[in-house]
Structure 1
Amino acid sequence: MRALVDAVTAITRVQDDPEQMLEQIVEAARTVSGAEYAALGIVGPDGRTLDAFLHTGMDPATVERIGNLPTGHGILGAVIVEGRALRLPDLSLHPASQGFPPNHPPMRSFLGVPIRSGEEVLGHLYMTNKEGGAGFTDTDEALITALAGQASIAIEMSSRYDKERELTHRLQRLVEVNTVLTTERRVDHALQQIVNAAADLVDATYVGLGVLGEGRDSFSSFIHTGMDPGLVEAIGDLPVGRGVMRAVMVGGRAIRLKDIGEHPASVGFPADHPVMRSFLGVPVAHRGRVIGDLYLTDKRGEQEFTEIDELIATALASQAAVIVTNADAYERERALVAELRSADEAKEAFVHHVAHELKTPLVTIRGSLQALEMGRKGLNDAQRTQLEQMAVRQLDTMMDMVNNLLELASIESGRSPLVLEAVALGPVVDAALTSAPPPEGTVVDLDPCADDRVTADRRYVERIVSNLLTNAYRHGGPHITVRTTSDDDGVTLSVIDNGDGVPASLVPTLFERFVRGRESRGTGLGLGLVKALAERFGGSVSYRPADHGGARFDVRLQHPDAAGTPDVVV
């Protein structure tokens, strides 16, 4: 009993150091039981094999000759599995005995007791070769059982210390990752670092991070680690966010599974994909809105992920959400800046164009008026009339330009009321010819179908036709055809001339403002107005060379039944 007291005293002195406590317990067990050899084994995560083994009684040379330490098989495994003390006068006679490895000293008598914490077996403490060749006694068993209780405390303390150290390491690693991410401007690189950190901190074999696209039905990007490039190539398409990953995002909460295949949402794996068991998935969310998920599979060394693993994965997922959200905001801001810059440039170009276009007729008008003033007495009637007509033509050009600009602005801003109704194209073409009659020597052939009806604003269709006719008068040949054709998708109104057609260099910008040929007498706004008017009620306009030379403009309009019930849009 004195030996036990001394042993407990020695153990108490090192109670703040679990590893030293265990070493003292093994030595104390050998002393109080009178054994030649003593050892203590700690069970690993699988609950059967030994994760640590401490022993006393053998010199280092013998230990080296034996080689590998016990892993918990044979009689040692029986103590763990049965969870009760085992006393044997000759351990070789027990059915679980597996003998000894080469160079191992002979052992006969045996006493082994489980180290327990409640119902859980943490390991075992065992003695062999009782002094004097006798067997171990009830008193020995009681003493070793008491020491096993001390060992249980030490093992739990050691486990707690290990977890605390591991948690401290993980938190430090999280801080390091966060520090690195604050300086990383490339989104894909930042997300890859998060994935790599997750694999490291949570001991996961495979990690993936998917970000939902605009439609939110599949991943637009997917970052992963754990698979070599050859395996990735063999698998083929990357995940798009189905199965359990979808369940994580839809539910908006973490899912931890011992076997992913047992979840009802599991859809299995594609060909050549490695089998995955344990699973941890957490949503990547920002302000309650899920934008993706971070998932980890196959926990190394354990059967499933822990609550601490989930906390760490959630922290990393939050960092990913901030990175993705900030990147989206940055892209939107950059796009807005580019749009504003483009609008500013367009405004400057527009002002420049308007100033230039107004300057030319103003110069002509001024010159005509000055000539009239200076040559009041020296000009004959014909000369005065010519100068006056020149000034009037330039005034008309200026008025056309101003009216077109005002109309364009009204249409593009939506201020101009739009009255949609079923419109018969025949009468509209006739009205357009009345407002824009052909000049002398120009013939317009009409080939409209009386039954061709479209949903549009009658005023706008008439203006479209008159603008296209005026364009043909100015730039086309003496023969113009207006034609309508109908199919299941809509009606096409075509204005075709037999002139020289549009130069190839002008075609890409033909419907932009102030675009015109060198010899053009127009304002360069007519075709832009046609495009704006057509698009106002869901139509379109296009250009292509005519079949036999010349220009062909096609305006595509909707059938009344395709456009739905006529309405008024303000």
Structure 2
Amino acid sequence: MSGSESPHGGPGDFPLPHETRNAQSQSGSQELLRGVWELIERDNGAGDRADVLLEAILAVSSELELDTTLRRIVQAATGVVGAKYGALGVLNPDGDGLAEFIYEGIDEETRHRIGELPRGRGLLGLLIDHPEPVRLTELSRHPQSVGFPASHPRMRSFLGVPIRLRDKVFGNLYLTEKVGGDAFTEADETMVRALAAAAGIAVENARLYERARLRQRWQEATSEIRAALLAATDPAEVLDLIANRAHEISHADRTLLALPQDPDLPPEEVDRLSVSVSIGSLGSGLVGRDLPVTASTCGAVFRDRVPRQVNRLDLGDDAGAFGPSLILPLRSSPETVSGVLVVARNPRATSFDAEQLRLVAGFTDQAALALRLADDQHRLRELEILGDRDRIARDLHDHVIQRLFAIGLSLRNTQGLVTDHEVGQRLSTTTAELQQVVNDIRDTIFDLRNSARHGSELRTRVNELVSESIAETELEAKVRMTGPLSAIPDKLAEQAEAVIREALSNTVRHADANSVSVTVSVTDELTVTVVDDGAGIPTGITRSGLDNLEQRARRAEGTMETTPLPGGGTRLNWSAPLPRPNS
């Protein structure tokens, strides 16, 4: 059937039927019934064909799976009129082409030899532009037909009828090559139009069923995520599950989750999103890619918190372009956004429809809310642990240490009353050991009270250091801190502060910059990155400051490097590994 396509659209010069009928309307249905009844009265053999039509309508209407329903419609249509070949072209969401093409009568080997399936141009597109029945004795004579591709079966007679859902065309039935070589008759057209009316109702029922089942799958996925969040020690562990479920249910080729590098930064201050999760076959190497907020579709969705549906999404030259995509904000409330979810298909795939956008957006909002609640519960548990630590520290200080101190004083007093030298020596040793226990308990109290505060104290010190360094300048500074700051030992934290102080001093004195950013990130190593937009490192100045930073890096078994930026400015990167837990 693809041979009936032409690169040029339009109705041509062939006359079309005089009347356009809505098969779903009451008057149209009555007219079709009247036509079938008149056909039975006029033709003695038409009663048998009416039975065939009735069986076909029942077969089409008995199925709820949409794909199976479409296949049965084509099979029923070819059987009702005795056509050798049949097809159903489903319109795309824009209504200007075919999104699906379900065919009957051509085997798979021939199908592969023919090549690409029709897209809805030429004679097949005639019904798209003018949704009215078309009946031809010789389709090759129609001005819209340009012949057939190689290996395509010969087709002469043609009957095309639109299938409507209420007042909107869903697709078109194409029937060719009536068995026996005859042309399709007016009776054939009447029968197929009646079948198309029933098919429209069957398709609508199947789509309603499919949507209900799809909603159920999204709800089940949301429940699964909530259960996983309850069991997870860290809410971030469930991000992969969110992306996987969205990928599976939406039939995507690539699904991404992009989050701010610093989750504690207010959304209006976020200027970059980082791809944290990437699933699927389309595109590769996307995890860790930065997406600018000010110059990307993902950033626009993050900023205005409004879901978007696009036909093409580009994440950069080396990432390649995606086809139809949904970009959805992770909104736990109308004012709060924690990232974006991207669901993308390949460039030639079918577009998402408005219902899919609504369902995925609802799932994303529910997932974001569950993440937010889980994170709040996680922090609440941390506060409870901190409270328990403070209580234990107070009890140790107020009760245990005081009692041990009293016991130690008692032992000393007893030692003064003992005349035996050996016993006195043992009491002295016991008193010293008891004092050591008191010291150990005091160290434990200090650790209990300060281990949890360490990360927040380092964050405060870095912010104060940056503020002090640029206090008398017009520099605009940004500070980002990511990762478990509490895992940084005191000595390494002091090194990081010294690196930031020296780097900012160089920027203020030599760079002639307008802005500077300081990033402290913790993974398996501590990384300090200072970037300015100044004139770069001047030639002819002493490198004592940079040499000091290199020496600090070597002492910490790390590295330090400075890199000039293409648009002007300098990037300083200083990193050192965190000590292993058993070291």
CA distance in 2, matches of 1:40, 1:269: 36
Partner of 2:332: 285
Does structure 1 residue 16 correspond to structure 2 residue 65? no
Deviation at 1:308, TM superposition (A): 1.4
Q: Give unpaired runs (5+ residues) of structure 2.
A: 1-38, 40-45, 418-470, 473-490, 492-583
Contact 1:279/1:298 (8 A) holds in 2: yes
Shift of 1:10: 0.5
Q: Does 1:340 align with 2:385?
A: no
Is 1:167 matched up with 2:220?
A: no
CA gap 1:220/1:52 in 2 versus in 1, 3 angstroms: closer
Structure-to-structure mapping, 1:253-264, within 5 angstroms:
255-259=306-310
The 5 A counterparts of 1:282-321 are 282-285=329-332, 290=336, 292-298=338-344, 301-303=350-352, 305-321=356-372
Question: What is the correspondence of 1:369-384 to structure 2 with a 5 Å cutoff?
Answer: none
Contact residue 235 and residue 371 of structure 2 kept, 8 A: no
| Residue 6 of structure 1: aligned partner | 51
Offset of residue 106 of structure 1: 1.9
Please, which of 257, 264, 285 is the counterpart of residue 230 of structure 1?
Answer: 285
User: Structure 2-normalised TM-score?
Assistant: 0.50
Q: Which residue of 149, 159, 170 corresponds with 1:111? A: 159
Cα distance in 2 for partners of 1:61, 1:297 equals: 32
2:234 paired with 1:186:
yes
What is the rounded CA distance, in whole Å, between the counterparts of 1:201 and 1:30 in structure 2?
Answer: 34
Alpha-carbon distance change, 9 to 139 in structure 1, aligned in 2, over 3 angstroms: closer
- 2:105 pairs with 1:53: no
Q: Aligned residue for 1:441?
A: none
How far apart are residue 283 of structure 1 and its match? 4.0
Q: Give the residue type in structure 1 aligned to 2:50.
A: V
Q: Give the C-alpha shift of residue 324 in structure 1.
A: 1.4
Q: Any conservation in 2 of the 1:209–1:292 contact (CA below 8 Å)? A: no
Say if 2:118 is the partner of 1:71: yes
Q: Quick one: distance in 1 between partners of 2:407 and 2:311? A: 71
Instruction: Kindly state the Cα deviation for residue 96 of structure 1 after the two structures are TM-superposed.
Output: 3.3
Percent identity of the aligned residues? Answer: 25
Q: CA deviation at 1:111?
A: 1.7
Aligned twin of 1:518: none
Residue 485 of structure 1 corresponds to none
CA distance in structure 1 between the aligned counterparts of 2:256 and 2:384, rounded to whole angstroms: 31
CA distance 1:244–1:6, shift in 2 (3 Å): same
Question: Which whole-Å deviations, capped at 9, do the CAs of 1:258-313 have from their partners, x for residues lacking one?
Answer: 24999xxxxx9677555567443344437x87362443243664246521112222
Structure 2: distance between partners of 1:222 and 1:285: 19
User: Quick check: 2:278–2:287 contact (8 Å CA) kept in 1?
Assistant: no
AA partner of residue 124 (structure 2): L
User: Which of residues 80, 105, 124 is equivalent to 2:128?
Assistant: 80
AA of the residue aligned to 2:98:
T
| Closer, same or farther: CA 45–180 of 1 in aligned 2, 3 Å | same
Within-5 A mapping of 1:76-475: 76-130=124-178, 133-204=181-252, 205-208=254-257, 210=259, 213-216=263-266, 217-218=269-270, 223-226=276-279, 230-232=285-287, 235=289, 237=290, 255-259=306-310, 272=318, 275=321, 278-285=325-332, 290=336, 292-298=338-344, 301-303=350-352, 305-347=356-398, 351=402
Change (3 A) 1:129 1:172: same
Q: CA deviation at 1:314?
A: 1.8
1 CA distance for matches of 2:160 and 2:63?
A: 25
Q: Single out whichever of 94-103 and 237-246 deviates more from structure 2.
A: 237-246
- In 2, Cα distance between equivalents of 1:270 and 1:341: 54
The answer to whether the Cα contact below 8 Å between 2:132 and 2:162 also exists between their aligned partners in 1 is: yes
Report the Cα distance in structure 1 between the residues aligned to 2:108 and 2:311, rounded to whole angstroms. 48
Answer yes or no: is the 8 Å Cα contact 1:116–1:123 preserved in 2.
yes
Contact 2:250–2:343, Cα closer than 8 Å, also in 1: no
**Cα distance between partner residues in 2 of 1:192 and 1:229:** 16
TM score, norm. by length of structure 1: 0.51
CA offsets, 1:390-428, max 9 Å, x none? xxxxxxxxxxxxxxxxxxxxxxxxxxxxxxxxxxxxxxx
Q: What is the CA–CA distance in structure 2 between the aligned matches of 1:195 and 1:317, rounded to whole Å?
A: 12
Query: What amino acid is the match of 1:329?
Result: L
Contact 1:285 1:321 in 2 (8 A): yes
Q: Which has the higher contact order (CA 8 A, sep 6+)?
A: 2
Match of 1:505 in 2: none
The change in CA–CA distance for 1:54 and 1:160 in structure 2 (over 3 A counts) is farther
Q: Closer, same or farther in 2 for the Cα pair 1:124/1:206, shift >3 Å?
A: same
Change (3 A) 1:358 1:61: closer
Q: Out of 217-226 and 302-311, give the one that drifted further.
A: 217-226
Distance 2:244 2:109 in 1: 44
CA contact under 8 A between 1:222 and 1:239: conserved in structure 2?
A: no
Is 4-13 or 345-354 further displaced after alignment?
Answer: 345-354
Say how many residue pairs are matched.
357
Q: Extract unaligned runs of 5+ from structure 1.
A: 263-267, 368-487, 490-507, 509-570
1:221 Cα deviation from its structure 2 partner: 8.8
Instruction: Report the RMSD for the aligned CA atoms in angstroms.
Output: 4.6
* Counterpart code for 2:54: T
AA aligned opposite 2:285: G
1-structure distance, mates of 2:108, 2:240: 49
